[in-house]
Every structure is written in structure tokens, then in C-alpha cells.
Structure 1
Amino acid sequence: MTDEKFYLDQLERHDVKPTAVRLLILRAMYRGGEMVSMGDLGRILPTVDKSTISRTLSLFLMHRLIHAVDDGSGSLKYNVGGGDDNGSPEDEHTHFYCERCHRTFCLEHINVPVVELPEGFRLTGINYVLKGICPECGD
């Protein structure tokens, strides 16, 4: 189990003022490579209201403490990390959506392929999601 100092350091490194609720949400988001939706966080943290979760996720995104992906499931999924300091789209990683358990995983070791855009187009983000069956569901 990770100690409180780790979470405080994460917030400080991203210039986010620590509060009890922010620490609670950040702690809940450390679920390995699996991403969570706002609904997931609401179920994990039933004492925290949805608007507080939403505002906290927006703050974390703005400070690049977390990243979000649209995996096609109908709700954004979030995970800690992956938001490098310069925000370069070339540093984006791949995500995997399991069609059986409906979980989404970060595959940080697989970079998104670089695509050459026609002149005048400017890339601001990439949403690269692979779909299939995760190892846990494939057994």
C-alpha cells in the first residue's frame, strides 16, 4: 500500500493544492493500468458527491495529473499519469478496451503511431483505442 507522502508528492508535482477529497480521489484512481469512469469513482467513493468528483477530475486533467480517453463505451475513462509535462501528442500511448468486462487499460509501452497530416492541419490530441478481450476474460 502506498503511503500518504506519495499522493501528496503527486499533487505537489502537478501544482494541485492537496485537500482531503482530492487525496481520496487520487488514491482511488491508483488501480494499476485499469482506467476508471466518473461513475466508477462514484461507486468506489459513495460519500463524495458527483459534482465534486467531476470538478476534481477537471482540475486533475488541467494540471496533467491524469489523462482521459473516450473508449467508445459512452463515458470517458480516466487514469493517473500519461500526461507528460509538454503535452506532445507523439508521447500518447495506446489504450485497450475489453469487450467482455468493459474495462479499459493503459498500454503505456505501446506508443500511438505518428500520422502525417496534410498542410494546415494541426494535431492537438490522439484517441487510439484497441478493442478485444483482456487476458483475464480470455481464460
Structure 2
Amino acid sequence: MLKNLDKLLQDKNIRPTAMRLLALEYISSQQTAVSLSDLEAAFHRADRITLYRTLKTFEEKGLVHSIMDGTGSVKYALCEEGCECAPEDMHVHFFCNKCQETICLPKSRIPKIPLPDNFKQEEVSLVIKGTCGSCS
């Protein structure tokens, strides 16, 4: 597993440090998006700044995307293979009001919204809130 993660980091031009490999292994093993606090809980001896920088590096290199789900805590999830996290690749996210988990819905794409002239799109987000299948 770590060999594949090492290659995944190298493919994104990210130097595969021990912490980056551990963080990527943790994120890839989760079924839902994770927050910085989730990473801190998983690696309680790791430095918060190192974990934050790891997430930001992953995001800048297109390995993960960030999700603002309205909880006040940014969540991160792995990007799909071939995704550039450009607006045309953006997908819907689901936030469960009961378990507080955020789940990517990659098959549900956010449509391109035509903007007036001189408007520049910088970010797109669509979060559906409700109750997930596990909590129903």
C-alpha cells in the first residue's frame, strides 16, 4: 500500500516524506472527508502546523480538494484520478446532519453556470444537507 502511495505523491510532484505518506494513507483509508482535527486525532504526536502544511501541499498539487460544508471546519478528500479540481471537474458533496460526516458524490457533477460578462469564477461549491444512509 505504501509503495502505491509513494508513487501517487511522486506523480503529483510531492516529495514523499514519512508524514506525507502517513497522512495520505489515513485520508485514503477514510470513507468520508477529513478535517485537520481528524488528522490531529489520528496522529496525536504530530505537529499541527506540519499536518496543516501537508494538507495544503496536497491541495495545491491537486491530490485532495477542500470542502466547506458549513460546519466551520474545512474538510479534505482525495481527488479522483484524472481530476484537476477545476470547476468543470467539481462534484456535489453531502453533509449528514446526524453523524456530521461529509461525503463526496463524484457522479453528481456541478453544472457550469454561465456568468455575466466581466465576472470571473474563482470557486464552486454545492453541499446537500440531510441524513445519510447509515443514519436513516
Aligned residue type for 2:103: F
- Aligned positions of 1:32-51 closer than 5 A: 32-51=30-49
Cα distance in 2 between the residues matched to 1:16 and 1:60: 8
1:14 corresponding residue in structure 2: 12
Query: How much has 1:49 moved relative to structure 2?
Result: 1.4
Aligned-residue RMSD, C-alpha: 1.3
Query: How much has 1:5 moved relative to structure 2?
Result: 1.2
SS at 2:44's partner residue? coil
Cα distance in 2 between the residues matched to 1:107 and 1:84: 14
Cα distance in 2 between the residues matched to 1:88 and 1:71: 18
Segments of 5+ residues of structure 1 without an aligned counterpart are: none
2:25 corresponding residue in structure 1: 27
1:106 corresponding residue in structure 2: 104
1:120 corresponding residue in structure 2: 118
* Contact 1:33–1:107 (Cα < 8 Å) also in 2: no
- 1:71-128 CA distance string (max 9 Å, x none): 001100001114823x430110110000000000000011012211111111122111
Q: Return structure 1 stretches of 4+ with deviation > 2 angstroms.
A: 82-85
Aligned residue type for 1:16: I
Query: How much has 1:32 moved relative to structure 2?
Result: 4.4
CA change 1:118–1:33 in 2 (3 A) is farther
SS at 2:29's partner residue? coil
Cα distance in 2 between the residues matched to 1:33 and 1:94: 15
Question: Percent same amino acid among aligned pairs?
Answer: 36
SS at 2:62's partner residue? coil
Cα distance in 2 between the residues matched to 1:52 and 1:5: 22
2:68 corresponding residue in structure 1: 70
Aligned residue type for 1:73: T
SS at 2:122's partner residue? coil
Cα distance in 1 between the residues matched to 2:103 and 2:79: 13
